[in-house]
Amino acid sequence: MIDEKKHLWVLGAVWVLLYLLGNNMLTITDPVECNYAETAREMVLSGDYFSPQIFGNFWFDKPILFYWELIAAFKLFGFTDFATRLAPTLMMGVALGLLYWWGRRLYNSTVAFVAALIMATSLESWYVGHAVITDMTLLVTVSFTLIAFYCGYRERNYNWYYASWFSAALAVLDKGPIGLCLPGLIILLFLLWQRDFKALLKKQLFGGLIIFCAVGGIWYVPMYMMHGQDFVDVFLGVHNVMRATVSEHPRDNVWYYYIGIFLAGFFPWVFAAIPAFIKKWRSGWRLQLDTDTRFLLVWAVTVFGVFECFATKYVTYTFPYMFPVVLLMARHFCHWGRKFFYAVAVMALIYVVLLFGVAVPKMAEHSAKAMAVAAQPYLQQGAEVYCLNRRDGMVSFTYYTGHFIYDLVPQSEIDKARELDWSVTDIVPKVSIEAAAADKKKPLLVITGDEDGKALKETLPGKWRLLERGRRDYLYYREADLEVKP
């Protein structure tokens, strides 16, 4: 018991050092984090905590749970960078505690402690634990879904199934159908290997299904009643089915993508674990496939295999295999003794240096916060703000200023009919270049990648002044032409 208390104190200190420290200095970046932050901000201001919206329009990209987490943080700490990053940070702490609890229940406190430290100091965990995205919440909910099932199966205490169904409902409220389909497939494949489908024929399974429908229905049923087929077509059709079948980023749709993510995500531990595994295998050692190991292997391999089959690939998609992989690794690193803890200390120091020396300045480069500060005096004078010739809209500018930014495009593009394809993810509202050029009575702010302003001056003639330089973007200002007659 004394060792377990020490373990928890150490894990808490590691969490504070690596995940809480410096969060207030990490700006919200484009093009992903800003969408979540701005959506939650607009929900707070509108008083509508049910229908996600961005730029004043309903937005069916993700379910509601992560937005509720952001809204709760905003209510407590205001619209600050610290508040925006609080939800993934807290979920990282929950994940470490859950992993330690289950690892101790599955093996012993030493294995659990080592596994939690491996996870805390793995590169992908460090990234996701700071990122304003849904994946850390998904890790916790999917992991507890599987852990609760396995506790019920292993201990023959099937009341755990209720907790499993409840957690699956939370996963579906966080990420959509994958929150049920992924753990459901893992459970079915595990029972197939065990040849034990009778474990599903329990009354708790059906009672749990009622819990799942009741919890998940809190949001999905009213959303369908309020928004009808639009919700089904965009949320299920585009952001779920299409994401699995049509690549949003074709250049990433290669077979070796997730192999690279695995090697980078478990840095540095994977580069010690793999050679040790190969050495043991060559010496005649074989992995003992007891029930616990089977479950961990099915969990890890299924997550990898499912997302390998998806057409759209993202860095964080395979993150739900974190628990089984670090538990399998931990049994090897337990034999390192003090060397392991020295390595953890070195990695902790490296991450602190990376946070302040690399992450803080790099994230500032990928954010419009500096431009938002420079633009504030002109926005208060009534200036309109646009972006020109940018692939990704500067949503972070809207988040930091509270003023909608508009994408300048030809009128012909605005006139095109909206189709159910990846264009629905283009959320920045559009204004025709022709209309902006004709209206010279208002001062203008434009964010563009045009360093010398030549293309900007050709598109919108006038006397432009450079206000702020970004990494690849520039903020220009043009005064109103007061001589133009109304």
Dihedral angle computed from the Cα positions of residues 127, 265, 180 and 41, in that order, rounded to the nearest 10 degrees: 10
| Same-domain pairing of 323 and 401 | no
Q: Among 249, 246, 252, which Cα is nearest to 419's? A: 246
| Same-domain pairing of 167 and 271 | yes
| Contact in structure between 389 and 446 (CB atoms under 8 Å) | no
Kindly give, in sequence order, each residue whose CB lies less than 8 Å from that of residue 175, ignoring residues fewer than 6 positions away: 62, 63, 134, 138
Structural domain ending residue among the three candidates 364, 391, 413:
364
Q: CA-to-CA distance for 465 and 451, rounded, in angstroms?
A: 12
Q: CA-to-CA distance for 370 and 276, rounded, in angstroms?
A: 48
| Same-domain pairing of 320 and 450 | no
Give residue 257's pLDDT. 95
Q: CA-to-CA distance for 9 and 12, rounded, in angstroms?
A: 5
Please give the full DSSP string across 106-126, using - where no structure is assigned: HS-HHHHHHHHHHHHTSHHHH
151 lies in some domain: yes
Q: CA-to-CA distance for 402 and 117, rounded, in angstroms?
A: 40
Q: Among 112, 156, 127, which Cα is nearest to 19's? A: 127
Q: CA-to-CA distance for 353 and 308, rounded, in angstroms?
A: 33
| Contact in structure between 50 and 412 (CB atoms under 8 Å) | no
Model confidence at 483: pLDDT above 60:
no
| Contact in structure between 466 and 428 (CB atoms under 8 Å) | no
Record the tokens describing residue 7, joined without a space.
């373990």
pLDDT tens string 369-388: 999 999 999 999 999 999 98
| Three-state SS letters, 67-91 | HHHHHHHHHHHCCCHHHHHHHHHHH
484 lies in some domain: no
Q: What is the CA radius of gyration of the chain?
A: 25
Give residue 485's pLDDT. 46
Q: CA-to-CA distance for 343 and 7, rounded, in angstroms?
A: 17
| Contact in structure between 66 and 43 (CB atoms under 8 Å) | no
Q: How far is CA 422 from CA 184, 235, 246, 478, in A?
A: 28, 12, 9, 34
| Same-domain pairing of 286 and 421 | no
| Same-domain pairing of 247 and 296 | yes
Number of domains composing the chain: 2
| Same-domain pairing of 136 and 229 | yes
453 lies in some domain: yes
Give residue 281's pLDDT. 80
Domain that holds residue 203: 2-364
pLDDT tens string 240-283: 888 778 877 788 889 999 999 999 999 999 999 988 888 888 77
| Same-domain pairing of 195 and 227 | yes
Higher pLDDT, 409 or 393: 409
Please report, rounded to a whole number, the percentage of residues in the chain having pLDDT higher than 90: 73
Q: How far is CA 305 from CA 8, 148, 182, 187, in A?
A: 33, 23, 11, 15
Give residue 227's pLDDT. 94
Dihedral angle computed from the Cα positions of residues 272, 277, 283 and 288, in that order, rounded to the nearest 10 degrees: 150
Give residue 441's pLDDT. 80
Structural domain ending residue among the three candidates 330, 364, 398:
364
| Contact in structure between 126 and 167 (CB atoms under 8 Å) | no
Give residue 389's pLDDT. 81
Kindly give, in sequence order, each residue whose CB lies less than 8 Å from that of residue 470, ignoring residues fewer than 6 positions away: 365, 368, 370, 371
| Same-domain pairing of 404 and 357 | no
**Strand, helix or coil for residue 176:** coil
Q: What phi and psi, each to the nearest 5 degrees, are found at residue 154?
A: -70, -40
Structural domain ending residue among the three candidates 335, 364, 393:
364
Sign of CA dihedral 119, 121, 123, 127: positive
143 lies in some domain: yes
* Half-sphere exposure for 99 (CA within 13 Å, toward CB): 33
Model confidence at 476: pLDDT above 70:
yes
485 lies in some domain: no
Indicate the average pLDDT of the chain. 92
Longest dimension (CA), the chain: 89
Average pLDDT over residues 82-93: 98
Give residue 191's pLDDT. 96
| Contact in structure between 16 and 355 (CB atoms under 8 Å) | no
Q: CA-to-CA distance for 189 and 38, rounded, in angstroms?
A: 40
**Strand, helix or coil for residue 54:** strand
Give residue 391's pLDDT. 65
Q: How far is CA 430 from CA 412, 419, 423, in A?
A: 11, 16, 13
Q: Per-residue confidence at 484, pLDDT binned at 50, 70, 90?
A: very low
Higher pLDDT, 295 or 200: 295
pLDDT tens string 169-219: 999 999 999 999 999 999 999 999 999 988 888 889 889 999 999 999 999
Sign of CA dihedral 165, 169, 172, 177: positive
| Same-domain pairing of 150 and 206 | yes
Q: CA-to-CA distance for 19 and 359, rounded, in angstroms?
A: 13
Q: CA-to-CA distance for 250 and 338, rounded, in angstroms?
A: 45
Average pLDDT over residues 407-420: 78
The predicted model scores a pTM of 0.95
Model confidence at 100: pLDDT above 70:
yes
Average pLDDT over residues 137-163: 97
Q: CA-to-CA distance for 66 and 137, rounded, in angstroms?
A: 7
| Same-domain pairing of 349 and 373 | no
| Same-domain pairing of 226 and 314 | yes
Least reliable range by pLDDT among 58-62, 73-77, 197-201: 197-201
| Same-domain pairing of 298 and 382 | no
Give residue 414's pLDDT. 80
Q: Among 73, 79, 113, which Cα is nearest to 96's? A: 113
Amino acid identity at 364: A
